[in-house]
């Protein structure tokens, strides 16, 4: 039986300290499904992460969404601190077929700040 391992950070390492060598601390909040189309409870729509809990990916809560979600680590790497609004780039394809469906309507609101330690 093959055990699934956790997704590696940035394709190379699962060690968050190696993925972000210059970063002391990360404080990130991700809110999605802002109008409650897919989830009833706010706890399912809002997630907070720190450096040690930051996943490589936050799943899209749209149950029909495929290949969507938010690449949280890439956002930290390639964006300045602040507040952002990202559209999910997934689609609502049929699970059985290979047809690409409508684009996913979900959006992600992201707020984060990074403590880079040294000046
Ligand atoms: Zn989606």
What are the DSSP calls for 4-47, one per residue? PPPPPBTTTBS-HHHHSTT-SEEEEEEEE-TT-SS-S-HHHHEE
Residue 46 lies in domain = 25-115
- Evaluate whether residue 15 is within a structural domain: no
- Evaluate whether residue 54 is within a structural domain: yes
Q: State the pTM of this model.
A: 0.79
17 CA to centre of ligand 1 in angstroms: 29
Could you give the number of structural domains in the chain?
A: 1
- Evaluate whether residue 3 is within a structural domain: no
Give pLDDT, residue 72.
94
64 CA to centre of ligand 1 in angstroms: 8
- Evaluate whether residue 10 is within a structural domain: no
CA dist list (Å): 111 to 76, 82, 96, 98, 108: 10, 6, 36, 34, 10
- Evaluate whether residue 65 is within a structural domain: yes
Give pLDDT, residue 116.
84
Give pLDDT, residue 21.
80
- Evaluate whether residue 1 is within a structural domain: no
Task: Please state, for a pLDDT cut of 70, what percent of the chain lies above it.
Answer: 81
- Evaluate whether residue 9 is within a structural domain: no
106 CA to centre of ligand 1 in angstroms: 5
83 CA to centre of ligand 1 in angstroms: 19
86 CA to centre of ligand 1 in angstroms: 11
- Evaluate whether residue 89 is within a structural domain: yes
């Amino acid at each position: 039986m093959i055990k699934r391992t956790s997704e590696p950070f940035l394709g190379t390492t699962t060690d968050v300290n190696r993925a972000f060598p210059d970063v002391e601390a990360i404080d990130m909040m991700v809110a999605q499904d802002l109008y409650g189309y897919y989830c009833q409870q706010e706890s399912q729509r809002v997630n907070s992460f720190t450096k040690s809990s930051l996943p490589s990916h936050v799943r899209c809560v749209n149950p029909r969404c495929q290949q969507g979600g938010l690449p949280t680590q890439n956002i930290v790497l390639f964006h300045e601190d602040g507040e952002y609004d990202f559209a999910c780039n997934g689609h609502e394809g049929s699970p059985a077929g290979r047809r690409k469906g409508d684009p996913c309507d979900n959006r992600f609101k992201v707020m984060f700040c990074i403590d880079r330690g040294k000046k």
